[in-house]
Amino acid sequence: MNNYTFIDGSVTAPMGFTANGVCAGVKAATNATQAVAANEPLLPKSGKRDLAIIYCERPCTAAAIFTKNAVKSDTIYVTQEHLQNGVAQAVIVNSGNANACNPDGMDKANAMCRLAAEALQLDENNIIVASTGVIGQALPIEPIAKGVDALKDILSKDGGTNAAEAIMTTDTVKKEWAVQLTLDGKTVTIGGIAKGSGMIHINMGTTLSFVTTDAAISSEMLRAALLEAADVSYNMVSVDGDMSTNDTLAIMASGMAGNTPIITQNEDYKAFVAALTAAFKNVAKKLASDGEGATKLVIAKVNGAKDNLTAKTIAKSVICSSLVKAAMFGADANCGRILCAIGYSGAEVNVKAIDVSYRSSKGEIMVCQNGCGLAFDEDKAKEILLEKEIDILITLGDGNAYAEAYGCDLTYDYVKINGDYRT
């Protein structure tokens, strides 16, 4: 029985945390298409929130994991340095500009931390900084300074949803969540926001995701929990096979729930990880279904693998296949594309034992048995594949291991969005 419950809420749900997001005009200033006037309304009718702060009233234990891309935003290097002592008290994050591949990127990342620290009267080293948006263009600091000045006066318990909006780029929906569980007889809350729509092929991080909790837990256990939960959730998401330069998954814990501090991987740690994993899996599905131009959430579910690594490798290979993704867009029940993706995954499998089925709310249909294609009702298959959520069920017959990966279809709109993303 699960010892957690999803509740309405966001990154401000845990005790001690406030947040908000404003329209600072980062992208407009980046493109130099319009000036950000000193008397410009904070959120003009045509504007979009693009700067957020998450703040805790006390210093928190903290941890983060990041992209494995060798090309990284300078925000990552600054945050890594700040988290060496496992302490943080606020997050500042902008959308509209990734602050990556810039000659002054480090200076701008440090400047963002300094602005937040001065506004909140905190130690600059206790600030987590992140950016997302266009790569290779200088980050304008003036609109961020203006936005921080506005944000310091409006941080609130109700501001989490505005912060979730502020980190969106090509996202079409906000990703925010909260979950509660009982640890040591105390009610513990975990909340979070995330963004991601394209350039998602995650490896030990995520797009951008910020998590808060009022649990008492050490920074070492927070990092272990992030790695464990992300491994079966965020790391199993792929929208387009492109790994971001800015992936950051950060967590802060205020300890205000009053539970006995978690300093080892005991039963309370396991319960915390279970709740975190459930939340991350829900977010992973939202990230995949909101892929750029996507019309369908596609989940590859691999059962009967000889070990967990084999199951994960095959699930991710199938979900990453451009041909599989295109077939899902066209509602084409082509089992050959599934088998092909399994074959080049690098996993060792008995091809003659592979079964493949498709399933949605309209039913289930088997299209491959013992590694060979079957005759099936094409009309029924199309009906199943026209739904918004599709499971690709793969049975290997080699063992008992299971894994699932989350992706989406490949549509005409993906090319349109990315063909002129910068302009």
Q: Give yes or no: residues 302 and 278 share one domain.
A: no
Angle between helices 105-120 and 74-82 (to 10 degrees): 50
> Is-contact 406 314, C-beta < 8 A?
no
Q: Give yes or no: residues 265 and 332 share one domain.
A: no
- 40 band by pLDDT with thresholds 50, 70 and 90: very low
Element (H, E) at 226: helix 219-231
pLDDT at 417 over 70: no
Q: Of 288, 321, 350, which one is at a domain's C-terminal end?
A: 288
Q: Of 288, 316, 351, which one is at a domain's C-terminal end?
A: 288
- 85 band by pLDDT with thresholds 50, 70 and 90: very high
Between the CA of residue 31 and those of 97, 134, 141, 290, what are the distances in Å?
10, 10, 13, 26
Q: Give yes or no: residues 262 and 377 share one domain.
A: no
pLDDT at 321 over 50: yes
Q: Of 244, 259, 288, which one is at a domain's C-terminal end?
A: 288
Count: domains in the chain: 2
Q: Give yes or no: residues 121 and 152 share one domain.
A: yes
Q: What whole-number distance in Å separates Cα of residue 267 and Cα of residue 280?
A: 20
Q: Give yes or no: residues 202 and 129 share one domain.
A: yes
- 171 band by pLDDT with thresholds 50, 70 and 90: confident
Q: 421: exposed, middle or buried (C-beta count within 10 Å: 0-12, 13-18, 19+)?
A: middle
Q: What whole-number distance in Å separates Cα of residue 310 and Cα of residue 317?
A: 11
Structural domain boundaries, residue 386? 297-419
Question: Is 206 labeled as catalytic in the residue annotation?
Answer: yes
Q: Give yes or no: residues 151 and 112 share one domain.
A: yes
355-360/297-305 β-pairing:
unpaired
Among 61-65, 83-87, 222-226, 283-287, the range scoring the smallest mean pLDDT is 283-287
Element (H, E) at 129: strand 127-132
CATH classification of the domain holding 312 = 3.10.20.340
Q: Give yes or no: residues 351 and 260 share one domain.
A: no
Q: Give yes or no: residues 102 and 121 share one domain.
A: yes
pLDDT at 399 over 50: yes
CATH classification of the domain holding 256 = 3.60.70.12
Alpha helices in 44-185 (DSSP H): 74-82, 105-120, 142-151, 160-166
Identify the active-site residue in 12, 132, 161, 206. 206
Q: How far is CA 338 from the centre of its chain?
A: 26
Q: From 144, 217, 141, select the one nearest 184 (Cα to Cα).
A: 217
Q: From 79, 101, 89, 343, select the one nearest 245 (Cα to Cα).
A: 101
Q: What is the DSSP string of 28-55?
A: HHHHTSS---TT--SS-TT----EEEEE
Q: Give yes or no: residues 255 and 356 share one domain.
A: no
The pLDDT tens digits of the residues spanning 125-160 come to 999 999 998 888 999 999 999 999 999 999 999 999
Element (H, E) at 227: helix 219-231
Buried b (16+ CB within 10 A) or exposed e, 357-379: bbbbebeebbbbeebeeeebeee
What tokens appear for 256 in the block? Answer: 């205000």
Q: Give yes or no: residues 158 and 272 share one domain.
A: yes
